[in-house]
Amino acid sequence: MTNDAIFSQLDFGPLDEFLKQDDVTDISYSNGGQIWLKTLSRGVFQVERPQINNALMEKLAFQCSNVMGKTFNMAHPFLDAESTELRLNFVHESIATNGIACLIRKTPAKIRLNREKLINEKYVREDLLDFLLACVQGHANIIVSGETGSGKTELVKYLASTTKENEKIITIEDTLELHLDRIFPHRDIVAMKTNNIASYTDVLVTCMRQNPIWILLSEVRSAEAVLAVRNSISSGHHIISTIHADKAASIPMRMYSLLESNLDVEQFLSTIHRYVQIGIYVKGYLSKELGRFQREIMEICEFYVDEDNKPKANTIFQKTMDGQFTLNNPTKNLRDYLAIQGVILPDDIFRTTESPKPNLNPSPNVTPVTPNLNQNVTPNINTSNMPNPSQVSPNINMINNQQAI
């Protein structure tokens, strides 16, 4: 019997109330009865449920240990249990001295984001969203950064959903969260899971033999994962992944810090800047203006190397918490990279100057792919330094296969 079949028979008792709510992403139990929820709409808050107590959580831990074939006691005080859509972590009371602690994370096989939601909920400006989708169509390598709970994985799932239907995807995860094979069962998607027998390196070697176009790596949080990213991109495959970093421009250095080796820093950064085109920083915060928990793309950064092979970064978009933002066009390096894939970006894609409109007539063998330049600027953002964009935008036919989500 599979873990999922056994998990379906577990008695979650009063916890089932929260497991059935789509808005709830995490359930935290600690301190002899405290219940904290993390939701998409309200962020983190506490609820009172006296019937959820140490006795209930110890019973649940015992059931999970049986499912996983593990022991949970003073000699083995940590327990991880995982089904397809649930991930549980228990800490025994011999370590958590104020009582057993538990975190339940929900990883449903669905994509919570879509274009309308992203724009209407001010997750990202429309022109920036079109730019990112053009980068996906142009096979740019993308790494999404942010704190825990900022929505990195959900953004990766959405970006991956806009890849072409005939492009094979392989996901490599240590804990299953993407579920793209279940969301798109008709597509050529292989889901691989690492464990103490098959490491990232082992799985990646096999992955290469499967001839994927895209490799989606779970969070980069170890030296092995960093090397997996480097080996994937340097071998000509295209990746989308996530990492913990406090801003987009610091992604390459954050990857280097995870290596914990004597590898030459300049050489490593040059490699990452050469092969990773886009870094994104997502932030989750309680918005007083909107009166709810808000997830938002705060930074988009372009990486490249100059003529002297020096690593460089171009901040395409950066927004501060007071609503001020800067906006820069991508460099010729990125435009040339995307053009090879038939994705043609105007020189002044974000209309940051009063220069004449660029010639959008490509050569006969290249299909133009340009973002929609009808801007949807977030209210209260200071755009005093920027001219009003033209309301006339070039023809767009970028995502022919984008699925309604």
Q: What are 341-372's pLDDT values in tens digits?
A: 999 999 999 987 754 444 444 444 444 455 55
Percent of the chain predicted with pLDDT > 70: 85
* CATH code for the domain of 147: 3.40.50.300
Amino acid residing at 224: E
Q: How much is the average pLDDT of 161-181?
A: 92
* Token pair of 312 as six digits: 């460089």
130 in a structural domain: yes
CATH code, 20: 3.30.450.90
Domain of 194? 115-340
User: Is 223 part of any domain?
Assistant: yes
Residue 391 included in any domain: no
pLDDT band at 99 (very low <50, low <70, confident <90, very high): very high
pLDDT band for 401, please (50, 70, 90 cuts). Answer: very low
Residues 119 and 101 in one domain: no
Question: Do 276 and 320 sit in the same domain of this protein?
Answer: yes
Whether 403 is covered by a domain: the verdict is: no
pLDDT band at 391 (very low <50, low <70, confident <90, very high): very low
Confidence check: pLDDT of 73 > 80 = yes
Report how far Cα 300 is from the mean position of its chain's Cα atoms.
13
Same-domain check for residues 248 and 134: yes
| Same structural domain, 141 and 72 | no
Is the per-residue pLDDT at 90 higher than 90?
yes
Tens digits of residue pLDDT in 194-225: 888 888 888 888 888 899 999 998 788 888 88
What's the confidence (pLDDT) of residue 393?
40
Per-residue pLDDT band at 261 (split at 50, 70, 90): confident
- Tell me the Ramachandran region of residue 217: left when phi exceeds 0, alpha when psi lies from -120 to 50, beta otherwise: beta
> Whole-number mean pLDDT of the chain?
85
Give the per-residue pLDDT at 113: 92
Q: Is residue 353 part of a domain?
A: no
Is 90 exceeded by the pLDDT of residue 85? no
Answer yes or no: is pLDDT of 394 > 80.
no
Instruction: Indicate whether 2 belongs to any domain.
Output: no
Distance CA 227, CA 259 (A): 8
Of the two residues 343 and 7, the one the predictor is more confident about is 343
Domain boundary at 83, 106, 129, which? 106
> Cβ distance 390 to 346 under 8 Å?
no
The answer to whether 228 and 171 have CB atoms below 8 angstroms apart is no
Q: Sorting pLDDT into bands at 50, 70 and 90, what band is 146? A: very high
State the burial class of residue 93 (Cβ atoms within 10 Å of its Cβ: 0-12, 13-18, 19+).
Answer: middle
Among 73, 106, 139, the domain-final residue is 106
Which pLDDT value is given to residue 230? 85
What pLDDT, on a 0 to 100 scale, did the predictor assign at position 223?
87
Span 234-244, average pLDDT = 90
Query: Which of 66, 83, 106 is where one domain is finished?
Result: 106
94 and 147, same domain (yes or no): no
The pLDDT score that the predictor gives to residue 195 is 83
Q: Which long-range contacts (CB under 8 A, 24 or more apart) does 387-393 make?
A: 387/351, 387/352, 387/353, 387/354, 389/350, 389/351, 390/351, 390/357
| Residue 213 and residue 272 in one domain | yes
Q: What Rg, from alpha-carbon coordinates, does the chain have?
A: 23
**72 and 128 part of one domain:** no
Number of domains in the chain: 2
- Average of pLDDT values for 123-142? 96
Looking at the domain assignment, is residue 394 inside a domain? Answer: no
Q: What is the pLDDT of residue 398?
A: 44
Give yes or no: residues 242 and 332 share one domain. yes
Residue 3 pLDDT: 58
**Co-location of 135 and 80 in the same domain:** no
83 and 129 both lie in a single domain: no
Question: How buried is 355 (Cβ within 10 angstroms: 0-12 exposed, 13-18 middle, 19+ buried)?
Answer: exposed
| Domain annotation covers residue 3 | no
Judge if 163 and 268 occupy the same domain: yes
Pairing outcome for strands 142-146 and 311-319: unpaired
What per-residue confidence (pLDDT) applies to 187?
A: 96
Q: Which helix (H) or strand (E) holds 153?
A: helix 152-161
**Does residue 331 sit in the same domain as residue 224?**
yes
